[in-house]
Structure 1
Amino acid sequence: MVEREEILPKYWYNIIPDLPKPLPPPRDPPDAEFSRIDLLRKIMPKEVLRQQFTVERFIKIPDDVRNGYLNIGRPTPLLRAKRLEEKLGTPAKIYFKYEGATPTGSHKINTALPQAYFAKSEGVEHVVTETGAGQWGTAVALAARMFDMKSTIFMVKISYEQKPQRKTVMQLYGGEVYASPTNLTEFGRKVLAENPNHPGSLGISMSEAIEYALSNDYRYLVGSVLDVAILHQSVIGQEAMKQMDELGEEPDILIGCVGGGSNFGGFAFPFLGAKKGEKYIAVGSYEIPKFSKGDYIYDFPDSAGLLPLVKMITLGKDYVPPPIYAGGLRYHGAAPSLSLLMKEGIIEWREYSEPEIFEAAKIFAESQGIVPAPESAHAIKAVIDEALLAKKNNEKKVIVFNLSGHGLLDLPNYELMMKRSSK
């Protein structure tokens, strides 16, 4: 049996030097009154920003961060979904990396820890961020507390209302949580003036967090769409590769859901870089159709346009996503590296609707006993489709997916889905 410390990687993996073509660089808008790139230097920890722009393939994980990973339960388990295989009657083998085993219940802590560590190393005492479904805000609140810092989280209003337990957990970790849009920022007040009942969006919350950090000389931690978050999340895929090797298995199909891209990229990119796997499938929401209807263009990651333009698949910074059941997927764009790989046809995509993912979540819960996060249920639906295709073709495929978190704090959303499905 391989020891925990041996499975946990000592380096983060950066896919940027292994992309099929150079990644289009971030840039300021042509009519810019100020440099957004200079703004990043003011609000992000210096080492986090350096890692965002690095072309190094491997970056050493600091010992304090690695110890932090061990403390929160890394490496997370790689489990075989044997009962799901039996329920589907498929010859395929199904494995899942269970990120719900962390204290915060999701993969988000994997980048919150190093970003908080680098902020603290630079003398920062207060960090700020946004959160959609609440997993990222929860991770930041815990990571800040682990390094004796304060945290402020702007939570998308509809998720704030749908998931009060997430707010409670963040507050237990010492975080201050506000329903965004708020009256605390100029941008929030502008949004509320136009629509007092605005449900909020990740782009709006991101803009508020950045403005708040800038106004108070705090530091901003980024959760998903920038490639530095994917870099830190690479611990997932690297662990999974070692665990698969220990089992003597080679993956054929790798699957993950996509909000901004850190969950999918952190899981799949190490396999892609190592040339392991035949098919990579990124799964999004039918109700937020960025894969099917988005454009591959330069766009702002945030709604206020405070961050630099990045080239990505996007529905546009002004897109207002509907208040769907999976708050973590309510984002208008996808990470630049993921967007490029999708445009090159290296990564496939799927989009599924609420009835489809609700049925997939039920099947998984009934067979494996784990209630998945609604976001991860999108990945499960793709897994089921691929397993049934293997059954039809009588192929012994090995399917591996990332279960980005549990859904135990999403039960109110599941209750609503149950009511809608019964009509």
Structure 2
Amino acid sequence: MSNPTSIDYTLNAQQLPTRWRHPLADLPWPLPPVRDPNKPSAAEIMRRVRPAAMLRQNQADPAWVDIPEPVRERLIQIGRPTPLRRALRLERALGSTARIYLKREDQLLSGSFKLSSAVAQAYYCQQEERTQVVSETGAGQWGMSLALASRMFGLGCQIFMARCSLQQKPYRSHYMQLLGAQVQPSPSLSTRIGRELLKERPDHPGSIGSAISESIETALGGSAAYLSGSNANHVHLHQSLLGLETQAQLQLAGESDGPDELIACVSGGSNLCGFMLPFLRHKLSGRPLRMLGAESTAAPRLTQGVYEYCGSDPAGYTPQVLAYSMGRSFVPEPVHVGGLRQHNSSPLVSLLRHHGLLDAVAYDEQEAFAAGRLLLQTEGLLVAPESAHAVAAALASVQTAREQQRQPCIVVLVSGSGMLDLDSYKQVLL
């Protein structure tokens, strides 16, 4: 083929990993201890509202965790393993000396990598005879994923969605509601913390943090299990499939030396950690490997924040963790990148950043959406606004490689589909 189009490297269902890799297994340092001064303590609150299996999976031992067969069956049903694409048309458009690969999480049933952890958590809830779940969502991809997984396992589902994202992306809430989930804007009038936030600021745009507070308050007031789509070790564990699959697919692509650069968008860190941490052993062994997180300038924690103890939600239900933060009172602007609008990063992502294992860059939504448009025009792939930040970072890396006459292998995580974000693309670019 004289002028080949893009190539997808795929694994079959039998090649889906049978075990998850724990995110703490290869860390050279322990996570910093949390500060938990509240009464009741955050640890006690989590014991009351989280499934016991999730609390066990937060621990670093064992390094490998068997995936229950019912979970593997559902993972295959939702579209795992996902393809790895060699983006040849994008390479030609850029005059790239780099080889660019895209890990296609947008092909899962809900259009997002989030579904892999949602399936696992819903399964464990069913095993513990839970009947209801409640959670937060920013841009709505976790909410969509949890609504679908809850339906698969016969669970009721309630979602608090950041108010500005609910207004910007109504189709995501329609999807959740079609699956039987109850969706409310955050801040809402149905919780104490929601009413307080609206009293202080009637036009409050909401955030992931406000939705966390409302979800936990709701779980404490009833029998629902509280589930998280990011930031927690058990979520990073479930998402290790991203990196484990990518390792096998790079071998199929003839990249036996592995990647030179891994790029993902970053907020709570579940997509970045799941994608990158399976490669950490290779980086620590001395192999040159750049790990790069792309964040939003609306919440530039890793690039402009302070490494300090900070809570994740305004009500203080979560413990104070050592992480890069813009401050607990910081409310991000209501940009069209709801999944990256959180005032602080996760302790695991922050530890990687603090010790120099993770680089970070921030883009505004204009730059990110322009990168997403270029990917659509070349590869025919419309990515979520969050993923577009990773694409923007990749374009910059390709430019640097060309100037330095290098030929690196760059792998970019496409964490979600942008098909329900068309109005956001229009608002920013058209």
What TM-score results when the alignment is normalised by the length of structure 1?
0.96
Q: What does residue range 106-185 of structure 1 map to in structure 2 within 5 Å?
A: 106-185=112-191
What is the letter of the counterpart of residue 9 of structure 1? P
Check whether the contact 2:137–2:143 (CA below 8 A) recurs between aligned residues. Answer: yes
1:11: which partner in 2?
Answer: 19
Distance 1:84 1:234 in 2: 27
1:257: which partner in 2?
Answer: 265
- Of 158-167 and 287-296, deviating more is 287-296
Q: Out of 263, 271, 274, which is 2:279 matched to? A: 271
Check whether the contact 1:254–1:277 (CA below 8 A) recurs between aligned residues. Answer: no
Distance 1:226 1:312 in 2: 13
Q: Out of 387, 407, 414, which is 1:396 matched to? A: 407
Matched residue of 2:420: which SS? coil
Matched, 1:374 2:382: no
1:313: which partner in 2?
Answer: 324
2:314: which partner in 1?
Answer: 303
Distance 2:59 2:386 in 1: 29
What is the Cα-based RMSD across aligned positions, in Å? 1.4
Q: What does residue range 4-403 of structure 1 map to in structure 2 within 5 Å?
A: 4-29=12-37, 32-249=38-255, 250-275=258-283, 278-403=289-414
What is the letter of the counterpart of residue 375 of structure 1? E
Distance 1:33 1:14 in 2: 30
Distance 2:366 2:42 in 1: 41
Distance 1:311 1:407 in 2: 33
Distance 2:13 2:344 in 1: 35
Deviation, 1:2, is 7.8
**What runs of 5+ residues in structure 1 fail to find an aligned partner?**
none
Distance 2:416 2:356 in 1: 28
What TM-score results when the alignment is normalised by the length of structure 2?
0.94
Change (3 A) 1:144 1:277: farther
Distance 1:295 1:157 in 2: 27
Matched residue of 2:58: which SS? helix
Distance 1:389 1:207 in 2: 42
What is the letter of the counterpart of residue 113 of structure 1? V
Distance 1:305 1:7 in 2: 43
Deviation, 1:7, is 2.9
1:407: which partner in 2?
Answer: 418
Deviation, 1:119, is 0.9
Distance 1:6 1:345 in 2: 37
Deviant stretches of 4+, over 4 Å: none
What is the letter of the counterpart of residue 289 of structure 1? P
Check whether the contact 2:327–2:344 (CA below 8 A) recurs between aligned residues. Answer: yes
What is the letter of the counterpart of residue 108 of structure 1? K
What is the letter of the counterpart of residue 57 of structure 2? Q
Distance 2:145 2:155 in 1: 13
The superposition leaves residues 6-49 of structure 1 with CA deviations (integer Å, 9 ceiling, x where unpaired) of 431111111313212111133312xx232110110000000011
Check whether the contact 1:128–1:218 (CA below 8 A) recurs between aligned residues. Answer: yes
Distance 2:268 2:165 in 1: 17
Change (3 A) 1:323 1:330: same
Distance 1:57 1:337 in 2: 16
Distance 2:10 2:306 in 1: 45
Distance 2:11 2:203 in 1: 52
What is the letter of the counterpart of residue 414 of structure 1? Y
Check whether the contact 1:138–1:170 (CA below 8 A) recurs between aligned residues. Answer: yes
Matched residue of 1:297: which SS? strand
Deviation, 1:193, is 1.4
Distance 2:207 2:196 in 1: 14
Matched residue of 1:154: which SS? strand
State the identity %. Answer: 42
Check whether the contact 1:106–1:135 (CA below 8 A) recurs between aligned residues. Answer: yes
* Residues paired across the two proteins, number: 417
Check whether the contact 2:271–2:415 (CA below 8 A) recurs between aligned residues. Answer: yes
Deviation, 1:84, is 0.5
